Structure formats: structure tokens, C-alpha cells
Amino acid sequence: MSSVLPIPDAGARRHDAAVLAGMAAVLLVVTGISVFFGSAGLTPVQVLHGLRLALTGVPAGTPEGQIVMLRLVRIGLGVLVGASLGLSGFLMQTAFRNPLADSYLLGVSGGAQLAVTLVALLGLAGTVASVPVMIAAPLAGGLLVLALLIVISRRIGHDLLAFLLSGLALSYLLNALYSIVVSTRPDILSNTIFWSWMGLNRASGTGMAVVAAGLAIAVPAVMSQMRPLRAYLVGDDFARNLGVNVNRTRISLLVVSVLLAATDVAASGVVGFAGLFSPHLARLLTHRTDRTFVALTMLMGATVVVVGDLLARSASVSELPLNTVLSLFGAPYLIWLSIKSRRVV
């Protein structure tokens, strides 16, 4: 196996380290800039004063301290959600060997959203097997959509276009069901619209903990399986020849991807296109699929979401939905990617 999956030489390792350090620096700069912008209209001096209060542990002393603290929590959640979406998109694209696969486009996020809406409709609360309902519900909805995607993929084989169209149809169906449920009970609209498009404006420490818990499970699991994962990417026959259990690998990739997508929905609602963007952007900086690529994809996802949120709360007096901002860039990119994939076929 070592001849097929070689260990990077010293030059490649130095390149990887430089790329990761550079991307981490970009994310750090973006997060730093984000603190200074928002609908509250604080001056840079007020923001710096609020930062000093937040760092000394007394943010409640002044209004600017409270606002800056809220921004810091929001940025922190954006970093975690972006990293989670990037990793989820990578796993989804790997599982289906499909550059257009993404939990948002294929309906996984829509299933999680619909499950949360049904929970709100029924007025359920509390926990299920020690797991809060608002976390268990999107996870269950995402897993149900995953089961449907697996059935669809087995029926249509490796036809990229047919698979994408089937996933989009499933996503539209789930959105239609969501609209029907909300229209029959408009009183729950205010409780469910957050999961539709409001993004990070309800960021909280609890949300950060939920996403961080998903990443704490997913990242070690993915990093420990990089060699069989790379063999799986080459093809089923190649992977089997190297002793990889193809079906188990595919299912595990999808389950971890859905787990991440579900925690994202539970913490920040439906955020589209970040999972699709991130692996492709990371591929511009490295062509090897290894631990560096996974980390780079997560950094890309975090940067995309933080930048998108910065634009969402700075582009107008009233905050734009994060999903809307990302869709403005994601939709044209998806069209270009579809054309490119079609030409390759």
C-alpha cells in the first residue's frame, strides 16, 4: 500500500505547512476584521473598548462590551459551522465520488430543517436518550434523507447528472413540505424561520458546543481513516484489492457527513453552498487527498462562512440572510461546475 499511497517528501511537507499557515492567517485576519463591522454601527474606538472589556471578563459593563461579546460568539460559531460544513461537503463528495454532492443541495439539510419544524409544530421538548430534542430531530431528519439518497444512488449508478437532479428534486420536495407545514400553522413560523435562513444571528455558547461536539467526533474518525479513504477514491475494485471494505467505508462517510450537517442545522439553521465550495477551493492549493487537505478544507469552510456572515450583516441596514449571501456566489459557481463536469464527461 505504501507504494500506492506514498509518504510526502520533505518538500511536500514544507508546502503543506506553508499552505495551512497561510490559510490560518487569512482566517485570523478575516475574523479580526469581522469584529469591527455590524448593524450596531460602533466606531473602531468603541469596538476596541468593547474588546478590552470582553478580554477582561466584564463585557456587561457597557453596551459596546455586550455588542462586541455577541460578535465574538457569532464569529466563533461561524468558524465552527464553516469548518463542519467544509468537512461534511468533503465527506459527501468523497462518498459519492461526485464533485456536486453537498448536504444542502442533496436535501440532507432540508430534511434536518423539516424535522426541527415538526418538533416545533408538535410542541415537543426535553431529551431523547439524554440527547436534546432540538439536536436529535435534525439528526433523525438528516439520516432519513441519507437513507433515501443511498437508495437513489444504487438505482441510478454513477450517472452524475441523474444523481444531482434526484437530489435537487428531493431538496425541493422537502422545502415544499416545510412550506405546507408552516402555512397550516403560521403561529410556529417565528420559531422555525430561524432554521430556514437566519444563519448566525442567534449564536450562543450552546450552539458552539453542539457543533464542536460533532467536530470532536468527526475529525479524529476521518483523520484515522485517510489511507482507506484515499484507496476508496480511486475506485471500488482498487479499494477491495487493498482490503478496504467499500460498503462500510461509504456508509461511514455518509453517516459522519450527516452528523455534521445535523449539528450545523441545530446550531445555525440551514447554511447552503459552503460545503460545496470548500473542497474545491482547497483543491486549488493542493492536489493530494490527505490530512492536510482535510484541515485545509475545514479552514476554507470557516473562512467562507465568516466572510459570508460579514457581508450579510454589513451590506445593508437590515441584516441579510446568510443563506442568501452564500447563494449569490454559490449558484453561479454551481452552474460553472456543472458545465465543467459535463465537458469532462
Predicted TM-score (pTM) of the model is 0.85
- The fold for domain 10-344 equals ABC transporter involved in vitamin B12 uptake, BtuC (1.10.3470)
How would residue 61 be classed by pLDDT, with cut points 50, 70 and 90? low
Distances in whole angstroms, Cα of residue 6 to Cα of each of 90, 227, 318: 21, 10, 52
**Position 23 pLDDT exceeds 60:** yes
| pLDDT of amino acid 46 | 85
Residue-wise pLDDT tens digits, 171-198? 889 888 888 887 877 766 665 665 555 5
Measure the CA–CA gap between 147 and 162, rounded to whole angstroms: 17
Q: Where are the domains of the chain?
A: 10-344
| pLDDT of amino acid 3 | 38
How would residue 4 be classed by pLDDT, with cut points 50, 70 and 90? very low
Locus of grid cell 455518509: 254
Is the CA virtual torsion 292, 294, 297, 299 positive or negative?
A: negative
CA atoms within 13 A on the CB side of 300: 26
Closest CA to 270 of 208, 194, 201: 194
Closest CA to 112 of 70, 63, 162, 170: 170
Cβ–Cβ under 8 Å, residues 77 and 268: yes
Residue type for 125, please?
A
Residue-wise pLDDT tens digits, 232-285? 888 888 888 888 888 888 888 888 998 898 888 878 878 878 888 899 889 888
Residue-wise pLDDT tens digits, 86-107? 999 999 888 888 887 888 778 8
| pLDDT of amino acid 195 | 56
> What mean pLDDT do residues 315-319 have?
71
- Residue 127 DSSP SS3: strand
Mean residue pLDDT across the chain: 81
